[in-house]
Amino acid sequence: MSDHFSVEEFSSLTNDRAWYNIIFVKVEFIWHDVDGKRLVVIFLDQHRQKIVAFVPQNLIHKYNDASLMGGFFSLNHFQIENLNYLECPKYQNYVLVWSEKKIVINEYTKLSSLTLTIPRGASLYPLVPSIIELKHDRRPQMDIVDVVGRIIEGKRDRCCFELSLQDKTGHTIQLFLSALKPSDVIRSIRPVQQRSIIYVSRLKLVHLPDINILKSTELSTITYEPDMVEARDM
């Protein structure tokens, strides 16, 4: 192996020829992309940045494990490559995550649990754009995003909710939670009535002619009253 570096954040991953260790990551999501032909792992660093990792076919059995989701780990002995926009993992043609580099998992890579040594302040949630950013995003590409905001208005239609979310900037955006499981519908009724703060992951940012809206997907997860910076003093 060539040069070997230990880093704390994904922004330090710059040398395609180097081998890296990163002392803390969270497994934010695991997903089979392109009809299950490759396994995608999305990692979160301690500064809440995301990066995508691709697992080769011969190692999928080691990483295709739902119990890894949400866990804290050190990631050792891996390399990086540039990530071409065309190879970004997509869900229904929406880009699931975008980063300049991708992590390349190989036979030397080790994912070691930090269950007993989780760093103080370890982040549970990724960086979330402000609602004003989401409202004014008119880029042509279709992105999957996360959002946090206070429910200031909401109505239910069977298994769907139409919510108006407001963040600290005072701006609002419409969020459509659709095709929810019965348990999610029941769990959502009281927070909607109480105008709770909500965090929702993996939403479609939909560009309509005059406005942007957010739509939930089968990949979305919902957290009420999340413990995150953006939710404080909201």
Beta-strand relationship, 212-215 and 172-177: parallel
Q: Is 42 left (phi over 0), alpha (psi -120 to 50) or beta?
A: beta
* Collapsed DSSP state (helix, strand, coil) of residue 184: helix
Q: What is the pLDDT along the chain (234 residues), one digit of tens a residue?
A: 556 899 999 999 999 989 999 989 999 999 987 666 789 999 999 899 999 999 998 999 999 998 999 999 999 999 999 998 888 999 999 999 988 999 999 999 999 998 766 666 677 899 999 999 999 999 888 999 999 999 999 988 877 899 999 998 899 999 999 877 778 888 888 998 999 999 999 999 999 999 999 999 999 999 999 999 899 888
Beta partners for residue 226, in sequence order: none
Predicted pLDDT at 49? 95
Mark 180-210 as b/e (b = at least 16 C-beta within 10 Å).
beeebeeebeebbeeeebbbbbbbbbebeee
User: What's the length of the chain?
Assistant: 234
Q: Which of 88, 114, 111, 110 is nearest to 99 (CA)?
A: 88
Q: Please state the pTM of the whole predicted model.
A: 0.90
**Domains of the chain and any CATH numbers:** 4-113 (2.40.50.140), 131-231 (2.40.50.140)
By CB neighbour count within 10 A (0-12 exposed, 13-18 middle, 19+ buried), where does 176 fall?
middle
